[in-house]
Amino acid sequence: MRRRSFLGYGAAAFGVIGLTLIAGWWRVDGPGAPQAVGARPLPLTEMDFSLTDHEGRTVGPETLIGSPTIAFFGFTHCPDVCPTTLADISDWLDALGGDAEKLNVVFITVDPERDTVEAMAEYVDYFHPAIRGWTGTERQIARAVEGFRATYEKVPTDNGDYTMNHTASVFLFDALGRFVTTIDYHEPREFAVPKIRRAMNEEKAEGA
Amino acid sequence: MKSILIAMLMAMTLPFGLATSARAGAGDVVVENAWSRASIGTSRPGAAYMDIRNAGDENVTLTGLRTDLAGMPEIHLTSTNEQGVSSMSPVGEIAIAPGETVALAPGGMHAMLMQLRRPMEEGETFPLTLLFSDGGEVTVEVPIRGIAARGPDD
Ligand SMILES: [Cu+2]
């Protein structure tokens, strides 16, 4: 009995040390590491993650190949940045008119704990119909964030709740999955829309 | 029936907002272009935006917010670092010099409405009271726009 509890403590101690090491790795070298300024996302063809869209379909980076893509990270309990970004994107899509149909537009949650498939479905319903909401397991979300060279962090709030810090830039990829550029948080429409057009024309220019 | 109720509520709250402008300092604060977004239920925090103008000739300091809509209203600042990562933090006190306007707007500051006591319904309004260091208060009726609203009128 005694021996077992010693073993138990030993295992617990190892567990704590292991977790500390993992936490250290996460912050220094892992996905939690601060990204060098200008770190480029991988091409979509080199990313590897599997998520579920707001209609319950299995999706991943391969889902996005074939059409240009607008992608960004957020969470539905976000009162300011995320509805602003979703509303801005909706506005840009309106400006693109019929061309908006040629785009993949994905909102990937960094808060899978609260953002279930149902929560995502309810939320994206209020914005432009082209916008898809993606969620999944903690691990798969982390892999997606890593592929985009983005970051996120859970932050406790005074009222015992939590909020998420996250990369607020909007990522643009061409139809071949190559990263084109980012649109900064709340960048005006007159800068954003030409960037999207550029992502849409990228592979056309090359094919010509 | 509902519209009569809203009209009655507005009749009760509107003069209240005007009546608080008795003091100098906070009494010369004008709030314009207030708006907020509708919420889905009460589990997610809401946000409200507005322009707060000091039309007087004394400094005023905004110290806090009060509303029956939310258990914990606070002014927050969203900041985005050079890596494009956004975070939100409480602002504390905001000094507004004579003639100056402080804007709460997407991309900058917002009135964060935590612990909603009722859903924020599009088309309705709610009273939000701004508290100042001189003891003065200014109450505004904040219109609730759609979830995808981008400003007070678009
Ligand atoms: Cu906030």
Residue A12 predicted with pLDDT over 60: no
Amino acid, single-letter form, for residue B34: A
Per-residue model confidence as pLDDT tens digits over B102-131: 999 998 999 999 999 999 999 999 999 999
How many domains does chain A contain in total?
A: 2
d(CA A87, CA B42): 21
Nearest to B86 by CA among B108, B105, B113, B115: B108
B120 — contact with chain A (CB < 8 Å)?
A: no
Q: Are residues A78 and A177 in the same domain?
A: yes
Total-model pTM: 0.81
Look at residue B150 and tell me if it is in a domain: no
Note whether A147 and A177 are within 8 A (CB): no
Q: Is A103 helix (H, G, I), strand (E, B) or coil?
A: coil
CATH of the domain at A88: 3.40.30.10
Residue A191, Cβ neighbours under 10 Å: how many?
Answer: 10
Look at residue B152 and tell me if it is in a domain: no
| pLDDT on residue A61 | 98
B107 — contact with chain A (CB < 8 Å)?
A: yes
A97-124 average pLDDT score? 96
A180 contacts: CB under 8 Å, gap ≥ 6: A68, A172, A173, A174, A195, A198, A199, A202
Residue A186's closest chain B neighbor by CA? B107
d(CA A44, CA B31): 47
Look at residue B153 and tell me if it is in a domain: no
By Cβ distance, the residue of A122, A155, A168 closest to B84 is A168
pLDDT tens for the 154 residues of chain B, in order: 445 555 544 444 444 444 344 456 888 999 999 999 999 999 999 999 999 999 999 999 999 999 999 999 999 999 999 889 999 999 999 999 999 999 999 989 999 999 999 999 999 999 999 999 999 999 999 999 999 999 998 6
Look at residue A38 and tell me if it is in a domain: no
Q: Are residues A115 and A175 in the same domain?
A: yes
Q: Are residues A2 and A82 in the same domain?
A: no
CA A78 to ligand 1 centroid distance, Å = 8
Q: Are residues A79 and A180 in the same domain?
A: yes
Q: How many CA atoms lie within 13 A of A112 on its CB side?
A: 15
Residue B92 structural domain: 2-145
Look at residue B15 and tell me if it is in a domain: yes
Look at residue A72 and tell me if it is in a domain: yes
Note whether B44 and A77 are within 8 A (CB): yes
Residue A22 structural domain: 1-33
Q: Are residues A92 and A150 in the same domain?
A: yes
Q: Are residues A107 and A134 in the same domain?
A: yes
Q: Are residues A187 and A99 in the same domain?
A: yes
Note whether A145 and A110 are within 8 A (CB): yes
Residues of B in contact with A166 (CB under 8 A): 85-86
Residue A162, Cβ neighbours under 10 Å: how many?
Answer: 13
By Cβ distance, the residue of A37, A126, A185 closest to B80 is A185
Residue A15 predicted with pLDDT over 70: no
Structure-token match 């000739």, residue found? B57
Question: What are the tokens at B42?
Answer: 């009460």
CA B18 to ligand 1 centroid distance, Å = 28
Q: Are residues A89 and A63 in the same domain?
A: yes
A158–B88 CB contact, under 8 Å: no
A79–B150 CB contact, under 8 Å: no
Per-residue model confidence as pLDDT tens digits over B56-68: 999 999 999 999 9
Nearest to A175 by CA among A151, A153, A206, A202: A202
Look at residue A19 and tell me if it is in a domain: yes
Q: Are residues A52 and A17 in the same domain?
A: no
| pLDDT on residue A204 | 63
| pLDDT on residue A17 | 46
How many domains does chain B contain in total?
A: 1
CA A22 to ligand 1 centroid distance, Å = 30
CATH of the domain at B115: 2.60.40.1890
Q: Are residues A21 and A108 in the same domain?
A: no
d(CA A172, CA A69): 6
Residue A111, Cβ neighbours under 10 Å: how many?
Answer: 23
B81 — contact with chain A (CB < 8 Å)?
A: no
| pLDDT on residue B109 | 97
B72–A77 CB contact, under 8 Å: no
Per-residue model confidence as pLDDT tens digits over A125-135: 999 999 999 99
What DSSP letter does each residue of A125-165 carry, written as one string? TTS-TTEEEEE--HHHHHHHHHHTT--EEEEE-TTS-EEEE
List all residues of chain A from 81 to 140 with a beta carbon under 8 Å from chain B.
81, 83-84, 86-88, 90-91, 122-123, 126-127
| pLDDT on residue B35 | 98
Q: Are residues A105 and A146 in the same domain?
A: yes
B8 contacts: CB under 8 Å, gap ≥ 6: none
Q: Are residues A93 and A24 in the same domain?
A: no
CA A174 to ligand 1 centroid distance, Å = 34
Q: Which residues, listed in sequence order, are joined to residue B29 by a DSSP beta bridge? A: B54
